[in-house]
Amino acid sequence: MEILNLFSKRPERGQFEQQRRRLYRIAYSWCHDGSLAEDLVQETLIKALERASQLRDPGRLPAWLAAILANCWRDHLRRLKPTDDIADLEESLYAEEDRSPERSAECNQLVRRVRDEIAALPVGQRQVLTLVDLEEFSYAEVAEVLEIPVGTVMSRLCRARQALKVRLQAARERAAAPVLRSVK
């Protein structure tokens, strides 16, 4: 019965599924392993359903679930050494029907490069960058989710954005170097 009570005041399944997809995106951006991301989301939802009575404001559901996910991720990191194993992305998710094959390949290559560079950031920076820039949580929500001060969120985000910019510029220069050598 507690399971039904948690989502009985909302558009039900649609919102629940939307939160599941959002949690998966967050988890995947943190761990870069599809199976692990699914496991983290499942663990998050189980814990959320067990603690449904703790959710006082249904409008805070996304941040509440993200906080539980962050705790599940921390627990996972405590149990295991973090890995840098990066799973392949499904190119079909990013391709639009009206794109040329060349444009689709360029887009997929860019997405892959950005994800790879985000994956190379330190965990704290990667978490903050994902929550703020990709999932559009507020600084206050991220601070609550990660259980850190808002100032720490801001400084990590600043460092993450700067590091990502430098890494992407270096990757672009590396990619352009073979073209320049072949022209000479």
Lowest mean pLDDT among 3-7, 33-37, 66-70, 119-123: 3-7
pLDDT of 52 over the 90 cut: no
CA distance 20 to 18: 5
Lowest mean pLDDT among 13-17, 65-69, 90-94, 138-142: 90-94
- Across the range 136-162, mean pLDDT stands at 93
**Distances in whole angstroms, Cα of residue 134 to Cα of each of 70, 98, 118, 139:** 16, 25, 11, 13
Catalogue all structural domains in the chain, each as residue range(s) with its CATH number: 12-82 (1.10.1740), 103-176 (1.10.10.10)
CB proximity list for 150: less than 8 A, separation 6 or greater: 139, 140, 143
| CA dihedral sign, ordered 74, 27, 140, 14 | negative
Residue pLDDT, tens place only, 76-117 = 988 875 443 334 344 444 445 556 777 777 778 888 888 888
pTM of the model: 0.56
122 near 77, Cβ under 8 Å?
no
CA 88 to chain centre: 15
Residue among 54, 24, 51, 62 at smallest CA distance from 40 = 24
